[in-house]
Amino acid sequence: MNNNEKKIDELMAGERKSLNFLEAIIEEDLRTGKNNGRVHTRFPPEPNGYLHIGHAKSICLNFGLAEKYNGKTNLRFDDTNPTKEEDEYVQSIMEDVRWLGFDWEDRLYYASDYFDQLYEWAEKLIKEGKAYVDDQSSEVISEQRGVPTRDGIESPYRNRSVEENLDFFVRMKNGEFPDGSHVLRAKIDMTSPNMHMRDPVLYRILHTEHHRTGNKWCIYPMYDFTHGQSDYIEGITHSICTLEFEIHRPLYDWFLDNLVDTTYRPRQYEFARLNLTYTVMSKRKLLELVEEGYVNGWDDPRLPTISGLRRRGYTPESIRNFADRIGVAKRENIIDV
């Protein structure tokens, strides 16, 4: 009996509650020897605000699955938008994850760690005729994408030569153009019913200081171009996202298909995010409440932030227990509070 079979036999022994769909996927992967028996998850917040109870569910899920199956979890900051991200949020997120009782050990990463590699991958797509620089405004690009029931309109810059695209992309990197004047787009399919596959933007120009890289870069990768490749670099096996990213999965796979080898491949899986009645769960709206003085900071006890719940007197154990009791589902639902 191999180690994977022993793991499953141990887990199956005795009475226990039924598996959720993610546990079932992982156990099947272990049974078949996928990923050489590894389970490696990640929690990838953007440092643009404080974490709330919805993030606690994701934290407990990712760290909990790794703990259950003798795996590992990375803490990775998705810091690709310097206009919204601050070190204050980085520190608060680390504090909240630790307070909940989880430890990423030495596996602390930032998407900005991979900016050089991502740039090289973008150049690879250009050289293979799979990406191009578009000079149109974001409004025009959005209009040309159309709607799912109607084909999009191809950009007049879609068939630029490889040499011209490389020249423009290097000049974008060197800071020759103002914000919003050029973007790098993938050349995929402007007739796809999935809007995310209609030549998505990979890079945009932002002359803004980054909280870690300073002014080294003035072009920044989009989330979709960063997500799967970061998972690949870190050796993630099960990339667990909330349900709104399900429609992004074909793009996640497209980038990996075109950029990395096939000996190993992270996989994205989606679960329903936490929705509570009478509770503001949008970081953007929570930020408005804080900045406009309606509440006394991110740790105001009236807020559903983890720091607010902590100040209200909730214990880490109570939040972990709540996350466990509400379970993991594939369909959206709302919990009454």
Active site (catalytic) residues? 46, 273, 283
Helices 115-127, 249-259: inter-axial angle, 10-degree rounding: 80
Beta-carbon neighbour count of residue 209 at 10 Å? 14
For the four alpha carbons of 277, 282, 285 and 290, in that order, the dihedral sign comes to: positive
Burial 246-276 (b: 16+ CB within 10 A, else e): eebbebbebbbeebbeeeebbbbbbbbbbeb
Distance CA 79, CA 85 (A): 7
Q: Which two tokens stand for residue 128?
A: 């293979």
Find tokens 């990923």 and name the residue.
35
Q: Yes or no: say if 82 and 209 are a contact pair by the CB < 8 Å rule.
A: yes
Q: Are strands 267-271 and 238-242 parallel, antiparallel or unpaired?
A: parallel
Query: Are the C-beta atoms of residues 190 and 154 closer than 8 Å to each other?
Result: yes
Q: How far apart are CA 90 and CA 208, in angstroms?
A: 18
Q: Retrieve residue 250's tokens.
A: 């074909």
The two tokens of residue 125 are: 């797509």
Structure tokens at 30: 């272990």
Strand, helix or coil at 335?
strand
CB of 266 closer than 8 Å to CB of 257: no
Closest CA to 52 of 243, 307, 301: 307
